[in-house]
Structure 1
């Protein structure tokens, strides 16, 4: 561990961890152009420097998953993972397996992780039943 990394803020470390997770997920099935575009957006959102970006892309597994502190952040991070996976409008089996592992790493128990991943796949694939569609349409009314 470098001397400068001792003084890194918790938020910066979590952002790098999250970005590394996103990169690893994109790389597991071969990074497509659509995924690169989404990753570049997350680079800006998470305030990842060019130097850190290069290091993370080179070896995303060097950054352990550092789960967020709140349930709202966990849901946001899970949503971010799905944005990367579905950037190319297709989910590979390796991505599916990794999503379940990451959901557990974010702090969900196995049963909740399984449910959230499977439900998110339905939502991102557009396979909603009428009741769910109505609920999502009227959610913020």
Structure 2
């Protein structure tokens, strides 16, 4: 661990953790061109430095999942994860397993994680924006 990382902000650490999770999902079924484009977007949105980007791309497992503190942030993270999975317009079984695993790591119990992943798959087949995604996840619950 570098000296500067001792003073890293909580938000920066969470952003790296979130980005590493996204990279893991992208790698789970082989990194595709569409996913590379999405990763560049997330790099910018999450304020990931070039050096951290390279490090995370090489070995995302070095960054443990640091779950967000609020329900709103958890939904945002799930939304981001589904965006990278569906960047190539399909979901592979390794991606599906990882999504369930990460939903639990984000703080959802097994039943809620399964519900959210299955419901999100249904929703994402329609390529919805975040507000529609949030609304449909909570509908009929």
Q: Does 1:73 align with 2:85?
A: no
Find the aligned partners of 2:27 and 2:35 in 1 and give their Cα distance: 9
Displacement of 1:2 in angstroms is 1.6
Q: Deviations over 1:62-98 (max 9, x none)?
A: 1000000100000000000000000000100000000
Q: Which residue of 2 aligns with 1:84?
A: 84
Q: Does 1:36 align with 2:25?
A: no
Q: Which residue of 1 aligns with 2:132?
A: none
Q: Which residue of 2 aligns with 1:129?
A: none
Larger Rg: 1
- Structure 1 residue ranges (4+ consecutive) displaced by more than 4 angstroms after TM superposition: none
Find the aligned partners of 2:33 and 2:61 in 1 and give their Cα distance: 21
Q: Which residue of 1 aligns with 2:101?
A: 101
Q: Which residue of 1 aligns with 2:129?
A: none
Displacement of 1:18 in angstroms is 0.2
Q: Secondary structure at the match of 1:102?
A: helix
Q: Which residue of 1 aligns with 2:58?
A: 58
Mind listing any 5+ residue stretches in structure 2 that lack a counterpart? 127-134
Mind listing any 5+ residue stretches in structure 1 that lack a counterpart? 127-134
Displacement of 1:3 in angstroms is 1.1
Find the aligned partners of 1:93 and 1:51 in 2 and give their Cα distance: 31
Find the aligned partners of 1:97 and 1:41 in 2 and give their Cα distance: 24
Q: Deviations over 1:9-55 (max 9, x none)?
A: 00000000000000000000000000011110000000000000000
Instruction: Let me know the Cα RMSD of the aligned residues.
Output: 1.8
Q: Does 1:123 align with 2:123?
A: yes
What's the TM-score once normalised by structure 2's chain length? Answer: 0.89
Q: Which residue of 1 aligns with 2:17?
A: 17
